[in-house]
Amino acid sequence: MKQSVKIFLLLIAIFGSVFLSSCVHEDGPLTGKTVCLDPGHGGTSDIDSYRVGVAGEREEWIDLRVALKLKSLLEEKDCRVIMTREKDVAVPLKERALMAIDGEADAFISIHHNATADTTVNFPTVYFHGNASENQASVLLGLTIIRQLRRSLFHADTPVSLVSDHTIFPTAGTAVLRHSYGLPGVIGEASFFSNPSEEQRLKQNDYNDLEAMAYLRGLEEYFSAAPLPVLEKNSLVTIAPFEVFQEA
């Protein structure tokens, strides 16, 4: 009888320890990190008619849907999230960047979607600020994100574009990345809402989920890698400046 009791207690101890160990929370690459999510634009439906697809879907609506989904995914990973907006409202560009700086974010992700006059075009683009040789952390962040965007939303042979924001705004780069320089940050243009087929996909919650998950996996990959620096700027812009309308 005593022997049976001992065996019973031993089994309880063994299975109890296995159960407890399975319940122990293991930290992941996002645990304790702070990510600032910036859904692009907002509150512009009354002042512009170009940031909208042929079927009427506006970019700022898509940006916000994806960002809110990504916020939930990040919080499930014990990541603190700063949102520059959670409604369809306008927020000044510098203010968005300062939210990331003041909140001591470990990464800044500005979520956008692209457009062009050619409605057949559709591929992912990610922008980092300044020079790749200086902004090494943002280049790595952009690389991990664009790789996951292609994997989730496109064919393996789809071309991708990871470039400096000086290619679109040669004199200074984009405002949100310029004012948040010093922390790893990118603007993600996952796809082209000007492509009618893509616009229809972007209206679907399941497709927005895929995009949000791609950003999550990109961030996990980034924070799992060896950290790279963001060096001080000391290089001149060599692209000849030209006049542009800047809102990014």
Model pLDDT for residues 220-242, shown as the tens digit of each residue: 999 999 999 999 987 544 545 54
What 3 state SS string does the chain have? CHHHHHHHHHHHHHHHHHHHHHHCCCCCCCCCCEEEEEECCCCCCCCCCCCECCCCCEHHHHHHHHHHHHHHHHHHCCCEEEECCCCCCCCCHHHHHHHHHHCCCCEEEEEEEECCCCCCCCCCEEEECCCCCCCHHHHHHHHHHHHHHHHHHCCCCCCCEEEEHHHCCCCCCCHHHHHCCCCCEEEEEEEECCCHHHHHHHCCHHHHHHHHHHHHHHHHHHHHCCCCCCCCCCCCCCCCCCCCCCCC
User: 34-224: what CATH class?
Assistant: alpha beta
So what's the pLDDT on residue 26? 81
Which pLDDT belongs to residue 241?
53
Please tell me the predicted confidence (pLDDT) of residue 59: 98
Weakest mean pLDDT among 24-38, 74-88, 110-124: 24-38
Q: Determine which of 9-18, 21-30, 94-103, 217-226 has the lowest per-residue pLDDT on average.
A: 9-18
- pLDDT (tens digit per residue) in 70-96: 999 999 999 999 999 999 999 999 999
At 234 the pLDDT is 78
